[in-house]
Amino acid sequence: MAEPRALRWPIGLLLLASCSGQFGDLPADDGGGEATAPLCTTVEPGESPLRRMTRVEYDNTVFDLLGDDSRPARGFVPEEESLGFNNQAAALVVSPLLAEQYMTAAEGVAERATGKLLGEAPACREAAAGAACRGEIAALVASLGKRAFRRPLADDEVAELVELFQRGIALGEAPDDASTGLALVVQAMLQSPHFLYRVELGMPDPVEGDVVPLSSYEIASRLSYLLWGTMPDDALFAAADRGELGTAAEIEAQARRMLESPRAREAVKNFHRQWLGLADIDEIAAGGKDPALYPEYRDELLPLFQAETEAFLDHAIFEEDASVGALFTAPYSMMNRELAEFYGVEGPRGEAFERVALDPSQRAGFVTHAGLLALYAKPDRSSPVHRGRFVRQSLLCQIPPPPPDVVPEPPMVDPTKTTREQFSQHVSDAGCRSCHALLDPIGFGFEHYDALGRWRATENGLPVDASGELTQTDIDGPFDGAVELAHRLAESEQVRACVVKQWFRFGYGRAEQSEDACSLSQATQAFEASGHNIKALLVALTQTDAFRYRRMIAAGGADGAAAEGEP
How does DSSP assign 423-451, residue by residue? Answer: TTHHHH-HHHHHHHHHHHHHHGGGTTB-T
Task: Indicate the burial class of 474 (C-beta count within 10 angstroms; 0-12, 13-18, 19 or more).
Answer: middle
Q: Look at the alpha carbons of 552, 558, 561, 562 in this order and tell me if their dihedral is positive or negative.
A: negative
Of 26-35, 172-181, 252-261, 305-314, the poorest mean pLDDT is in 26-35
Task: Indicate the burial class of 175 (C-beta count within 10 angstroms; 0-12, 13-18, 19 or more).
Answer: exposed
Task: State the pLDDT at residue 428.
Answer: 60
Q: What would the mean pLDDT of 455-481 be, rounded to a whole number?
A: 96
Q: What would the mean pLDDT of 92-106 be, rounded to a whole number?
A: 97
Higher pLDDT, 420 or 121: 121
Helix residue ranges, H only, 119-154:
123-126, 131-149
Higher pLDDT, 164 or 11: 164
**Average pLDDT, rounded, for the chain:** 89
Task: State the pLDDT at residue 418.
Answer: 78
In whole angstroms, give the CA distance from residue 273 to residue 397: 17
Residue 31 confidence (pLDDT) above 50: no
The predicted model scores a pTM of 0.89
For 464, 467, 523, 527, 539, the CA distances from 491, given in Å and listed in that order, are: 26, 19, 19, 14, 22
Of 174-178, 351-355, 392-396, 490-494, the poorest mean pLDDT is in 174-178
Q: How confident is the model at residue 432 (pLDDT cuts 50, 70, 90)?
A: low
Q: What would the mean pLDDT of 66-78 be, rounded to a whole number?
A: 98
Task: State the pLDDT at residue 401.
Answer: 59
pLDDT in tens, 370-418: 999 999 999 999 999 999 999 999 999 997 656 555 555 666 667 777 7
